[in-house]
Amino acid sequence: MADSSSTTSSTVGQRWGDVEDDPVEVEESTSQTPENASSSSAVEVPNLDALAIDENKKKNDFLDEPEDTHISAVTSGDTLYATAAKFEDLNLSPELLKGLYVDMKFTRPSKIQSISLPMILTPPYKDLVAQAHNGSGKTTCFVLGMLSRVDPNLKEVQALCICPTRELAIQNMEVLNKMGKYTGISSVCAIPSGSADIPIAKSAEIKAQVVIGTPGRIRNLMTSRKLNTSNLKVLVFDEADHMLDDDGFKDDSLKIRRLMAKDNAHYQVLLFSATFNDTVKNFVSKVVKDGNQMFVRKEELTLDVVKQYKVICPNEQAKIDVIRDRIFELGEKLGQTIIFVHSRKSANELHKKLGDYGYGCTTIHGALDKDFRDKIVKEFKDGLTKVLISTDVLARGFDQSQVNLVINFDLPVKHNYPSDPDYEVYLHRCGRAGRFGRKGAVFNLLSVDMDHMLLEKIEKHFGTKIVEVPNWKSDEDFEKALKAAGLL
Ligand SMILES: Nc1ncnc2c1ncn2[C@@H]1O[C@H](COP(=O)(O)OP(=O)(O)OP(=O)(O)O)[C@@H](O)[C@H]1O
Ligand SMILES: [Mg+2]
End residue of a domain, out of 269, 296, 323: 296
Decide if 9 is inside a domain: no
Name the residue range of residue 176's domain: 21-296
Decide if 13 is inside a domain: no
Instruction: Give CA angle at 405 (474, 324), nearest 5°.
Output: 45
Decide if 464 is inside a domain: yes
pLDDT at site 39: 30
Residues 367 and 265 in one domain: no
d(CA 244, CA 411): 23
Pocket, ligand 1, Cβ cutoff 6 A: 106, 109-110, 113, 132, 134-140, 274, 397, 399, 401, 431, 435-436
Atom of ligand 1 at shortest range from CA of 436: 12
How far is the centre of ligand 1, averaged over its atoms, from the C-alpha of 11 (Å)?
31
173's CB contacts (< 8 A; 6+ apart) are 187, 189, 212
d(CA 442, CA 339): 10
Alpha-carbon distances of 281 from 60, 116, 273, 291, rounded to whole Å = 28, 18, 11, 13
d(CA 231, CA 215): 19
Instruction: Give CA angle at 474 (473, 480), nearest 5°.
Output: 140
pLDDT at site 288: 86
How far is the centre of ligand 2, averaged over its atoms, from the C-alpha of 281 (Å)?
18
Testing ligand 1's pocket by substitution, the residue of 60, 67, 117, 136 carrying the most ligand atoms inside 8 A of its CB is 136
Residues 282 and 405 in one domain: no
How many structural domains is the chain composed of? Answer: 2
Decide if 40 is inside a domain: yes
**Cα atoms found within 13 Å of the Cα of residue 340, Cβ hemisphere only:** 30
Give, as one character, the DSSP assignment of residue 413: B
* CA distance between the termini of the chain: 30
Residues 269 and 333 in one domain: no
How far is the centre of ligand 2, averaged over its atoms, from the C-alpha of 150 (Å)?
21
Residues 353 and 270 in one domain: no
Residues 184 and 316 in one domain: no
How far is the centre of ligand 1, averaged over its atoms, from the C-alpha of 132 (Å)?
11
> Residues whose CB is under 5 A from ligand 2 (ion)?
138, 397
Return averaged pLDDT per consecutive 10 residues of the chain, 488 residues in all.
35 44 42 30 30 34 45 78 93 98 97 95 96 96 98 98 97 98 98 84 95 97 96 98 94 94 90 95 87 90 92 97 94 94 95 95 96 97 97 98 97 93 97 96 98 98 95 97 96
Residues 245 and 323 in one domain: no
How far is the centre of ligand 1, averaged over its atoms, from the C-alpha of 431 (Å)?
11
Looking at ligand 1, which residue's alpha carbon is closest to its atom 3?
106
Ligand nearest 395 Cα, by number? 1
How far is the centre of ligand 2, averaged over its atoms, from the C-alpha of 474 (Å)?
36
pLDDT at site 479: 97
Atom of ligand 1 at shortest range from CA of 138: 21
Residues 207 and 322 in one domain: no
Residues 314 and 284 in one domain: no
Looking at ligand 1, which residue's alpha carbon is closest to its atom 23?
135
pLDDT at site 448: 97
Atom of ligand 1 at shortest range from CA of 140: 18
Residues 215 and 351 in one domain: no
Testing ligand 1's pocket by substitution, the residue of 114, 115, 138, 143 carrying the most ligand atoms inside 8 A of its CB is 138
Residues 332 and 416 in one domain: yes
Residues 337 and 451 in one domain: yes
Backbone angles phi, psi at 420, to 5 degrees: -105, 135
How far is the centre of ligand 2, averaged over its atoms, from the C-alpha of 364 (Å)?
19
Residues 277 and 355 in one domain: no
Decide if 301 is inside a domain: no
d(CA 195, CA 74): 47
pLDDT at site 28: 30
Atom of ligand 1 at shortest range from CA of 106: 3
pLDDT at site 126: 96
Ligand nearest 138 Cα, by number? 1
Decide if 109 is inside a domain: yes
